[in-house]
Amino acid sequence: MEQYVYQSLNEARAALDALLDDGETLRTLAAAGRQLSNTFRHGGRVFSCGNGGSMCDAMHFAEELSGRYRLHRKGLPAASISDPSHLSCVGNDYGYDRVFARYLEAHGREGDCLLAISTSGTSTNVLAAADYASRHGIHIIALTGRPGSTLSELSDTEICTPAGQYADRVQELHIKVIHILIELVERELFPENY
Residue numbers belonging to the annotated binding site for substrate: 51-53, 64, 92-93, 118-120, 123, 171
What pTM was computed for the model? 0.96
- For residues 51 and 107, give the distance between their C-alpha atoms in angstroms, rounded to a whole number: 19
| Tally of structural domains, the chain | 1
Q: Are 144 and 157 in contact (CB under 8 A)?
A: no
Q: Tell me, what's the pLDDT at 188?
A: 97
Would you put residue 172 in left (φ > 0), alpha (ψ -120 to 50) or beta? alpha
Q: Residue 159: which domain range?
A: 2-193
10-residue stretch averages of pLDDT, the chain, 194 residues long: 92 94 97 98 98 98 97 97 98 98 98 98 98 98 95 96 87 97 98 95
The CATH code of the domain that includes 143 is 3.40.50.10490
What is the β-pairing status of strands 157-160 and 113-118? unpaired
Q: Tell me, what's the pLDDT at 164?
A: 75
In a 13 Å sphere around the CA of 32, the CA atoms on its Cβ side amount to 27
- Over the stretch 7-62, which tens digit does the pLDDT of each residue have? 999 999 999 999 999 999 999 999 999 999 999 999 999 999 999 999 999 999 99
Which of the 8 DSSP states describes residue 42?
T
Q: Are 126 and 155 in contact (CB under 8 A)?
A: no
Sheet containing 46-49: give its strands across.
78-80, 46-49, 113-118, 139-144, 157-160
Q: Tell me, what's the pLDDT at 136?
A: 98
In the chain, where does DSSP find H-type helix?
2-20, 23-41, 53-66, 84-94, 99-107, 124-135, 150-154, 167-189
Render the burial of 166-175: b for 16+ CB within 10 Å, e for the rest: ebebbbbbbe
Q: Tell me, what's the pLDDT at 166?
A: 83
Residue numbers belonging to the annotated binding site: 51-53, 60, 64, 92-93, 118-120, 123, 171, 179
Q: Tell me, what's the pLDDT at 78?
A: 98
